């Protein structure tokens, strides 16, 4: 038996050589830096269009605005998109069976874990480093301390290492990439939002004074990366840098502990899951609640029937769903009690709606982008393409398998919207608002499915889909805000464009329901008209992306195009309409009858 070796080893050399030859790596870096420079240009256009120039204090405020915008977008992108780089690093190889073959060599567990993790972390670290030169250029305007830049860089870098290591650790124990990524998001959400919110509510209920709140604030500042990005500019930067170093030490230490846990358990977990056959433990009886949904027809679309009936979530999937629904029900219940019991404003449900829609669509984007890659890994996609099933039937089944996740999101958001409609009595707007939410879910599902068809690699597909979703949720509202700041007199189109973002549309739609007044004033008709127009635009985008996915499916899978497709311009639309009610299957005729 060879002595244990430590280091990155040949796994890192192979993985990094393979990654460095991809043009997408350099395209993403260039695109990210280009977006930052474009944001700087728009920000300067809203501030610098003055004939008399700008004062030194105004330049300093402009520098602080640019700093806040860049570091907020960067950290949000790191928290949401970076775990996709490592979520499938181990579980995909386990599903293919290649990880067990690698373990049969003389490679040590440390070389395997460190090599794979370092190869996946290197592009993420390079993306973080690309932001530093842009911030250094912004510091020439003033208002940005060099110590603040150093602290934000170290905070973002540590956060990237921490969330990527967390996703890698869960990938060692998990079996599906979308479940691992969903569990990572739930843990990050609990770290940044759920725990501080719950502790804050308990402190308010306990009646603690200002001293308790100040201690709680210092604790949040020490563990929350967003709080470390915005210190008090009147305080000492040296003390702030000390807090950043403590956060970096704690984050890197926790990452090292998770790496050690991966090294100690990866071989045992892989062998055990392989011996189970990939299906998990079946000896325990699974109790299922009776379904209240109508039964789908097996004859109409077997793929849809399988996704709807037989494709049950695993323990990881149930954990992610329980965490999401638990926090959504908690926020919704708190809002309902505040509105009905204490007479709070209807707009108080904005936080609950943003969480329910934002996180729900994020999980849907992850699920839809991995719907075909998992079939590719298992080899069942080739089996589907060899059947008489049409392409639209196959993709429609996958589409509905993801879109059905919209049910709890629509119910909870509809309840909050109904409470907002109470004072105004505009119940027609409730239907428009629910249609807009369903349109967001539809275009998210179609986009993820199209990316899953176009991008065979699971990690790239998930990263691209999540990156586009983050751009729609964060970048699009910022662009609308810049349009609002640069707009002149008259109706501002920024309000209309804000509905193009799921977060912006959720907030503005809820506000329009609460503040609607029957009037022919153009300013009051902007919000309802925007909801109707964007619902139509997103609905058309949903069908368009689904049709593009169907047309490119044959070319990606090597299937003869349209050999059994139904003719007509609306075949994709008809394929997305589920058929309920199970029809009895035809019984096979006896052999004697066939001979006669």
Tens-digit pLDDT profile for residues 329-361? 888 888 888 777 766 555 567 888 888 898 899
Instruction: Decide: 193 and 187 in contact? Cβ < 8 Å.
Output: no
Regions in the chain scoring below 50 on pLDDT: 1-2, 210, 278-290, 292, 520-523, 563, 569, 580-596
Q: What integer pLDDT is reported at residue 53 of this predicted model?
A: 61
Contacts of 169 (CB under 8 A, 6+ apart): 258, 259, 261, 262
- Alpha helix stretches (DSSP H) within 391-457: 391-403, 406-424, 427-454
Dihedrals phi, psi of 580, to nearest 5 degrees:
-100, 160
Which pLDDT belongs to residue 49?
Answer: 57
Q: Which of 396, 482, 594 is nearest to 46 (CA)?
A: 482
Strand partners, 580: 296
Instruction: Tell whether pTM > 0.85.
Output: no
Main-chain dihedrals φ then ψ at residue 296, nearest 5 degrees:
-85, 160
Name the nearest CA neighbour of 398 among 575, 188, 243.
575
């Amino acid at each position: 038996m060879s002595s244990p070796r430590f280091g990155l080893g040949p796994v890192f050399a192979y993985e990094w050589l393979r990654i460095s030859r991809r043009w997408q790596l350099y395209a993403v870096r260039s695109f990210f830096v280009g977006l930052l420079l474009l944001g700087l240009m728009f920000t300067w256009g809203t501030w610098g269009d003055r004939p008399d120039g700008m004062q030194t204090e105004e330049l300093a405020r402009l520098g602080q605005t640019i700093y806040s915008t860049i570091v907020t977008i960067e950290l949000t992108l790191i928290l949401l998109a970076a775990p996709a780089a490592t979520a499938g690093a181990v579980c995909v190889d386990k599903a293919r069976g290649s990880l067990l073959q690698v373990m049969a060599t003389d490679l040590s567990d440390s070389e395997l874990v460190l090599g794979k993790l370092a190869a996946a972390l290197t592009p993420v670290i390079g993306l973080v480093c690309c932001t530093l030169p842009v911030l250094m250029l912004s510091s020439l305007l003033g208002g940005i301390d060099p110590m603040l830049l150093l602290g934000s860089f170290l905070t973002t870098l540590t956060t990237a290492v921490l969330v990527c290591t967390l996703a890698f650790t869960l990938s060692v124990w998990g079996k599906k990439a979308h479940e691992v990524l969903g569990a990572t998001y739930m843990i990050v959400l609990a770290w940044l939002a759920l725990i501080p919110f719950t502790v804050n509510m308990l402190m308010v209920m306990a009646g603690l004074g200002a001293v308790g709140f100040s201690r709680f604030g210092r604790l949040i500042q020490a563990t929350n990366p967003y709080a470390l990005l915005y210190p008090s500019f009147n305080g000492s930067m040296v003390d702030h840098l000390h807090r950043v170093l403590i956060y970096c030490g704690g984050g890197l230490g926790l990452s090292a502990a998770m790496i050690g846990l991966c090294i100690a358990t990866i071989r045992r977990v892989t062998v055990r899951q392989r011996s189970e056959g990939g299906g998990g433990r079946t000896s325990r009886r699974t109790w299922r609640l009776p379904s209240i949904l109508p039964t789908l027809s097996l004859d109409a679309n077997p793929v849809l029937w399988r996704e709807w009936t037989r494709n049950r979530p695993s323990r990881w999937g149930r954990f992610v769903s329980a965490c999401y629904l638990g926090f959504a029900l908690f926020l919704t219940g708190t809002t309902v009690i505040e509105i009905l019991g204490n007479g709070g404003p209807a707009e108080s449900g904005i936080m609950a709606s943003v969480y329910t829609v934002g996180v729900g669509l994020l999980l849907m984007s992850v699920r839809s982008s991995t719907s075909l890659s998992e079939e590719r890994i298992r080899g069942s996609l080739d089996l589907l393409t060899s059947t008489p099933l049409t392409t639209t039937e196959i993709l429609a089944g996958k589409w509905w398998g993801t879109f059905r996740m919209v049910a709890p999101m629509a119910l909870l958001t509809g309840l909050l919207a109904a409470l907002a409609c109470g004072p105004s009595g505009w119940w027609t707007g409730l239907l428009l608002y629910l249609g807009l939410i369903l349109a967001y879910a539809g275009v998210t599902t179609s986009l993820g499915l199209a990316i899953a068809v176009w991008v065979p690699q699971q990690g790239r597909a998930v990263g691209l889909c999540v990156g586009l979703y983050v751009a729609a949720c964060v970048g699009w509202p910022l662009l609308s805000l810049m349009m609002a700041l640069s707009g002149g007199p008259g109706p501002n189109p920024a309000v209309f464009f804000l509905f193009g973002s799921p977060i912006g549309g959720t907030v503005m739609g809820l506000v329009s329901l609460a503040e609607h007044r029957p009037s022919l004033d153009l300013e009051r008709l902007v919000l309802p008209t925007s909801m109707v127009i964007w619902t139509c635009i997103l609905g058309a985008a949903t069908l368009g992306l689904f049709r593009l996915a169907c047309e490119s499916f044959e070319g990606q899978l090597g299937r003869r195009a349209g050999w059994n497709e139904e003719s007509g311009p609306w075949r994709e639309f008809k394929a997305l309409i589920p058929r309920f009610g199970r029809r009895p299957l035809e019984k096979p005729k006896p052999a004697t009858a066939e001979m006669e």
